[in-house]
Homo-oligomer: A and B are copies of this chain.
Amino acid sequence: MSDSFSFRLTGTHGAARAGEIATAHGIVRTPAFMPVGTQASVKGVHPDEVRASGAGILLGNTYHLMLRPTAERIAALGGLHAFMRWPYPILTDSGGYQVMSLAPLRKITEAGVTFRSHIDGANVELTPERAINVQILLGSDIAMQLDECVRLPAERTEVERAMKLSLRWAERCKRAFEAAAPGRALFGIVQGGDDLKLRKESARALVDIDFLGYAIGGLAVGETQTVMLEVVAETAAALPAARPRYLMGVGTPADLLEAITRGVDMFDCVLPTRNGRHGLAFTRFGPINVKNARHADDARPLDEESRCPAARDFSRAYLHHLFRSGEALGGTLLSLVNLYYYQDLMAGARAAITAGNYSDYAALTKGQWSVRRDIDGDEE
């Protein structure tokens, strides 16, 4: 294992990029999808199974972990890798997004954000310095700056205010991060809503501060996919080629394919596990809702050619039964199916970019969804 964080491109096709991120806990091949381990657990799935699905890196949530079991406790227990038994790379977010979406009575000032814990009602302060301190305690390989994410649509003045506050917080985060162990990386987060001019201004300013990677934040928060992809394309183009680009909280398989086309290297999203728990499987043939009555007598597996054992070994009728009966095994099996699907989608993208045929890969993948949807798939 190397002690230094690095990123190198291994291939490009148009704006799409394949690469490798080296961390103290191993290599992450990009484009990479990061399963979300909100509370130090990818919901319902054993960490060995998450690894078997092909995941090279997980995301942990600073907001949840600082409240419970607390970052100090995790640090005393050897850090997040040891705590959740995931000895591979981990990225932690800064907690900013969850404060905005989950915490009651939040108040944002120049200093930071104060909020009530959704767990015990305690008053908590999250400053840029504290967000970095928590992430250093957790021991993540990649930390994120604290930012303010604005829900769209929003007034331009409001978007600009939050973007500029995020830039000032970015500088404070970078200073605070100097205390981190060598080999860890801090990423800046581009804000600016759906305003391309603000996005470019944010990207330029972050590049001036100089981070080891850059995230595109504040998307998938209410805008259309068309708007999101335009912002992604313009923002990615404004970021240095030599640094990884991470589109936060996105998204559907189609979102991922399109964002890769526009130069994104990293993603995280709860969709594979959340949809899995609700009975929706992502497959080569498009999404399949196993709760639909039409699957009750269907002896076929979800996909006999899948790399995922759960997609090959159990009948749709059995999966249907598990969901109808409220058996937890159903959610676990479909979460696995979806985690494998997302990882295989990324592996295919990496191979296609390297081979110089990514646009064909994306088109064929999407074409297969729509062709078979009428036969095997379900509308969401």
Contact = CB atoms under 8 A, between A and B. Distances in A.
Name, among A76, A313, A327, A331, the residue most crowded by chain B CB atoms within 10 Å (CB to CB): A327
B318 A85 contact: yes
Contacts of A331: 328
A325 interface: yes
Interface string A315-336: 1011011101101110111000
Interface residues of A, number: 36
Contacts of A324: 68-69
Interface stretch (A43-51, A141-149, A150-158, A348-356): A43-51
A332 B64 CA distance: 21
A181 B209 CA distance: 76
B41 A329 contact: yes
Given A297-B76, A329-B45, A317 B69 contact: yes
Contact of A332 (B78, B320, B332): B332
Given A76-B297, A77-B299, A329-B41, A313 B85 contact: yes
Interface in A62-89: 64, 68-69, 73, 76-78, 83-85
A41 B296 contact: no
A325 B39 contact: yes
A299 B69 contact: no
Contacts of A68: 321, 324-325
A44 B83 contact: no
27 contacts: A39-B321, A39-B325, A40-B321, A40-B322, A43-B327, A43-B328, A43-B329, A45-B329, A46-B329, A46-B332, A68-B321, A68-B324, A68-B325, A69-B296, A73-B296, A73-B317, A76-B297, A77-B315, A77-B317, A77-B318, A78-B299, A83-B321, A84-B318, A85-B313, A85-B318, A328-B332, A332-B332
